[in-house]
Amino acid sequence: MIDKHLPLLDLHRHLEGSLRLESLVELADQYGIGLPASSIEGLRPYVQITEPEPDLMAFLAKFKWWTAVMVSPEVCRRLAYECVTDARGEGLDYLELRFSPYFMAEPHGLHPAAVVEAVIDGVEAAASENDLPVGLIGILSRSFGSDIAHLELEALLRQRDHLVALDLAGDELHFPAGLFSEHFRLARDSGLAITVHAGEAAGATSVWNAMRQLGASRIGHCVEARTDHALLDHLAEQRIGVEANLTSNVQTSAVDGYAEHPLVSFLEHGILATLNTDDPSISGIDLAYEYEVAAPAAGLSADHIRQAQSNAVEIAFLSADDKAALRRRAAGRSQCG
Ligand SMILES: [Zn+2]
């Protein structure tokens, strides 16, 4: 269960995977985008996971219908605004939201820089109206290769002051970290924090490379660390944050089922591991589901879950003062019932 005495954070959520099905249908109708079905229920099997996919790339294929409606920066702004508004509706106290500018721009040939501006505008408007602090994370997509990643990075660094971190996502198996070491050096030089998707579709070496070649202080997924005891020790000793996404890992077949997920062993190893959603609209979940259904199914006790919730504050890309403010706010809320 979620502990109301502690702040509730989601540190790993993709904008492109957190959109309203209603908006998808409405925008497709408005702009004449052909979708495989015209009703929400008819569309669901095409845009959501209904049973585990064979691998990460099959999971990522679901995104194509969501990005198909991103016809203009104005639409991107609207979708970002709705995403943050919905996060507030879930009771979050802080959200770290990530997006890949080229992934959003590519279907309709938008300029990545215009997408970055629109997303920032929508996120900041909703954050302010809903009194929900949001840290924005820019993503470089491995699957587009090194040159496009430079384009994404350039678009993101133009808005450096509106971002907290840089991430690397996409086809982990075929586009290893080393291809992007220059990009991440530039990002670190600009003062951005680094988190990297690793150990999801490739092995423990990919996690080591994310830290050694890219300077990651947090790892998204990290499932394959389970095979490498030296790596588990290193993650704990160096206080590297782990952004676990239980349902997503079941759906991409990174694990064979919730019970096979290594999150409990990470927590018991003293690793700062956390519970997050990844792509709630594609997975058909919300953060409460991960805490109340997925975490117990993965063998987490109430103490493990509380530890994961507390770890999220520890590893958030926030100042010590901001973390203290989140903790005070949660404590005050619980006293008021
Ligand atoms: Zn992710």
- Residue 101's CATH number: 3.20.20.140
Give buried/exposed letters for 132-154 (b at 16+ CB in 10 A, else e). bbbbbbbbbbbbbeeebbebbbe
Asked if pLDDT for residue 82 goes beyond 90, the answer is yes
Note whether residue 288 is domain-resident.
yes
Q: How confident is the model at residue 50 (pLDDT cuts 50, 70, 90)?
A: confident
Q: Which residues pair with 243 in a beta bridge?
A: 220, 274
**Separation of CA 278 and ligand 1 centre (Å):** 5
**Separation of CA 332 and ligand 1 centre (Å):** 32
Prediction pTM value:
0.96
Note whether residue 3 is domain-resident.
no
User: What is the residue range of 192's domain?
Assistant: 9-335
Largest alpha-carbon pair distance within the chain?
A: 54
Does the active-site annotation cover 200?
yes
| Residue 273, both tokens | 């591991």
Asked if pLDDT for residue 51 goes beyond 90, the answer is no
Q: What is the pLDDT of residue 337?
A: 47
**Separation of CA 304 and ligand 1 centre (Å):** 22
Asked if pLDDT for residue 336 goes beyond 70, the answer is no
Choosing from 16, 117, 152, 200, the catalytic residue is: 200
What is the tally of structural domains in the chain? 1
**Separation of CA 269 and ligand 1 centre (Å):** 23
Contacts (Cβ under 8 Å, ≥6 apart) of 204: 224, 225, 227, 228, 231
Note whether residue 166 is domain-resident.
yes
Q: What is the pLDDT of residue 54?
A: 84
Note whether residue 294 is domain-resident.
yes
Q: What is the pLDDT of residue 58?
A: 83
Residue 252, phi then psi, degrees to nearest 5:
-90, 5
Mean pLDDT of 117-137: 98
- Which of 184, 234, 179, 182 has the alpha carbon at shortest distance from 204? 234
For residue 61, the tally of other CB atoms under 10 A from its CB is 11
Note whether residue 4 is domain-resident.
no
Mean pLDDT of 122-149: 97
Query: Does an H or E element contain 123, and which?
Result: helix 112-130
**Separation of CA 198 and ligand 1 centre (Å):** 10
Mean pLDDT of 209-227: 97
Q: How confident is the model at residue 335 (pLDDT cuts 50, 70, 90)?
A: low
